[in-house]
Amino acid sequence: MISSETAAKPHIKKRTIGTYATNKAGPVVIFVVGLHGNEPAGIVALKAVLDQLNILKPTFKGSLIGLAGNITALERKERFIDEDMNRNWDSYLAEVYPTHDALSKHAEDTERRALTKELTRIISGTKENVFLCDLHTTSSESVPFISINDTLRNREFVKNIPSPIILGLAEQIKGTLNGAFNDLGIASVLFESGQHDDLSSIENHEAFIWLILEQLGCIDPVEIPKFHKYREILGRLALDERKIYEVFFRHGIDTSDHFKMEPGFVNFQKVKKGTRLAHDKNGAIKAFKNGRLFMPLYQGKGDDGFFLIRGISPFWLKVSERLRKLKFDKYLHWLPGVRKDQSAPNTFIIDRKIALFYSLQIFHLMGYRKKEVKKGRLFVSRLPYDDETPSNEEIMKNFDYLTSRS
Ligand SMILES: [Zn+2]
């Protein structure tokens, strides 16, 4: 049985943009497109892939499901109506899921509710592994990149995609769709394909969708039209030296800062310590270390001025993978100045006056990221599902847990 459903009209009226499935068992791969209403490239790409699948009817294991993100904003071609829909997912899920019908003040709450209902309907209706990809484009020109929360499952999920992979953005940007669904146990990645209006962003999205379907075993590479070209496209646009990068600095801003980037910088550009990157009401803002500039704010509003990132060597990635598979974090509280947080799972408290200077690096290797600093103590935590995949029943229980906690 092959079922398909594609919206023919240019306007998005339905949450489900299209599905492709056969009776062969395999993963459920969900692509969310248009979580930001000014980013239609993902929708065009997804429809193109669905059309190709319907024409070619290849051997296909599992299912592909395309869901629209912010339908109201997509119709108005605006980034959002009241608030950024790729924020506040954690608090949203804690407060309103699943059937709370209280009228919300924000258009995005209605959208989140509808999207969450659809996602949980899919998860609860299958025993297969569910994977989530959130497709975006950027305001300024950029090579395509992947952002993941640093779990071994997520690394595995995108390991064959030739685009650069950014770790640690979730530590800086709270409440993303990816972050929240990772917490619940679903392997989830974000892909940025390039600038909003650049036609190549559509092709990059198509390449990503096909390569993910191949990576997850849904389709054999010989059945993918232009498989080698897609690999070449994303490979050609990748950076030369490292494949995996980590965010080590965020310059946060608010409107009263009068922040302005200096002209001419591009995403991933190498910058040297002392380079003047931007200015605000207090004067010049310079790079405090060598690195690469990431997501400089040139257009629109936001509270992230820019980030700095650096490549991680393949050696340390291997070390970290080995230690994490061995569950080495069981012993981390033996380090001086480190203790377990008894009130929160997968969390350690580091007393920075006592702890060794390299403690944080060890925690980073083990997938732990900074959560907060309280009274000179650093709280670090990791996602609950690093290497192990929970059952869909457990994932649904996690939704209930979040609900009951509120
Ligand atoms: Zn976006």
Who surrounds ion ligand 1 at CB < 5 A? 36, 39, 136
Task: Read off the pLDDT band of 402 (50, 70, 90).
Answer: low
- Asked if residue 316 belongs to a domain, the reply is no
Are 219 and 276 contained in the same domain? no
Q: For residue 134, report the distance from its CA to the centre of ligand 1, in Å.
A: 9
Are 53 and 79 contained in the same domain? yes
Q: For residue 72, report the distance from its CA to the centre of ligand 1, in Å.
A: 15
Are 377 and 253 contained in the same domain? no
Q: For residue 372, report the distance from its CA to the centre of ligand 1, in Å.
A: 26
Residue 219 near residue 257 (C-beta atoms within 8 A): no
Residue 245 near residue 272 (C-beta atoms within 8 A): no
How far apart, in whole angstroms, are the C-alpha atoms of residue 16 and residue 3? Answer: 13
Q: For residue 74, report the distance from its CA to the centre of ligand 1, in Å.
A: 12
Residue 66 near residue 17 (C-beta atoms within 8 A): yes
Are 181 and 273 contained in the same domain? no
What pLDDT does residue 88 have? 83
- Asked if residue 388 belongs to a domain, the reply is no
What pLDDT does residue 309 have? 94
Longest dimension (CA), the chain: 64
What pLDDT does residue 227 have? 95
Tens of pLDDT, residue by residue over 26-39, are 999 999 999 999 99
Are 132 and 254 contained in the same domain? no
Burial class (CB within 10 angstroms; exposed 0-12, middle 13-18, buried 19+) of 384: middle
Among residues 161, 163, 164, 165, the alpha carbon closest in space to that of 213 is found at 161
Q: For residue 142, report the distance from its CA to the centre of ligand 1, in Å.
A: 13
Are 209 and 328 contained in the same domain? no
- Asked if residue 389 belongs to a domain, the reply is no
CA 395 distance to own-chain centroid: 18
Of 86-95, 318-327, 375-384, the range with the lowest mean pLDDT is: 86-95
- Asked if residue 295 belongs to a domain, the reply is yes
Q: For residue 121, report the distance from its CA to the centre of ligand 1, in Å.
A: 24
Q: Per-residue pLDDT averaged across 162-169, rounded?
A: 90
What pLDDT does residue 1 have? 38
Q: Per-residue pLDDT averaged across 349-366, rounded?
A: 78
Domain-ending residue, one of 288, 311, 334: 311
Q: Which residue has the higher pLDDT, 191 or 237?
A: 191
Among residues 247, 257, 301, the alpha carbon closest in space to that of 278 is found at 257
Residue 8 has pLDDT above 50, yes or no: no
With pLDDT > 70 as the criterion, what percentage of the chain qualifies? 91
How far apart, in whole angstroms, are the C-alpha atoms of residue 312 and residue 148? Answer: 14
Are 248 and 231 contained in the same domain? no
Task: Read off the pLDDT band of 381 (50, 70, 90).
Answer: confident
> Which residue range is the domain that position 369 belongs to?
321-381
- Asked if residue 406 belongs to a domain, the reply is no
Domain-ending residue, one of 180, 205, 236: 236
Are 141 and 216 contained in the same domain? yes
Residue 228 near residue 214 (C-beta atoms within 8 A): no
- Asked if residue 306 belongs to a domain, the reply is yes
Q: For residue 137, report the distance from its CA to the centre of ligand 1, in Å.
A: 5
Domain-ending residue, one of 182, 201, 236: 236
Are 297 and 326 contained in the same domain? no
- Asked if residue 402 belongs to a domain, the reply is no
Cis before 164? omega within 30? no
Structure-token pair, residue 303: 């509270």
Hey, which residues does 374 pair with through a beta bridge?
A: 377
Residue 136 near residue 35 (C-beta atoms within 8 A): yes
How far apart, in whole angstroms, are the C-alpha atoms of residue 191 and residue 33? Answer: 10
Residue 44 near residue 202 (C-beta atoms within 8 A): yes
Q: Which residue has the higher pLDDT, 42 or 96?
A: 42
Domain total for the chain?
Answer: 3
What pLDDT does residue 11 have? 57
- Asked if residue 271 belongs to a domain, the reply is yes
The domain that contains 283 carries what CATH number?
A: 2.40.50
With pLDDT > 90 as the criterion, what percentage of the chain qualifies? 54
Are 21 and 130 contained in the same domain? yes
Are 155 and 16 contained in the same domain? yes
Residue 92 near residue 104 (C-beta atoms within 8 A): no
Structure-token pair, residue 375: 């009274």
Tens of pLDDT, residue by residue over 195-215, are 999 999 999 999 999 999 999
Q: For residue 33, report the distance from its CA to the centre of ligand 1, in Å.
A: 9
Are 184 and 164 contained in the same domain? yes
Q: For residue 178, report the distance from its CA to the centre of ligand 1, in Å.
A: 12
CA 375 distance to own-chain centroid: 31
Other CB atoms within a 10 A radius of the CB of residue 15 amount to 16
Of 89-103, 173-187, 384-398, the range with the lowest mean pLDDT is: 89-103
Is the pTM above the cut of 0.95? no
Residue 102 has pLDDT above 60, yes or no: no
Task: Read off the pLDDT band of 242 (50, 70, 90).
Answer: low
Q: For residue 81, report the distance from its CA to the centre of ligand 1, in Å.
A: 14
Other CB atoms within a 10 A radius of the CB of residue 35 amount to 28
On average, the pLDDT of the chain sits at 87
How far apart, in whole angstroms, are the C-alpha atoms of residue 37 and residue 237? Answer: 25
Q: Which residue has the higher pLDDT, 100 or 9?
A: 100
What pLDDT does residue 78 have? 92
Structure-token pair, residue 244: 């995996």
Q: Per-residue pLDDT averaged across 244-260, rounded?
A: 91
What pLDDT does residue 67 have? 98
Residue 324 has pLDDT above 60, yes or no: yes
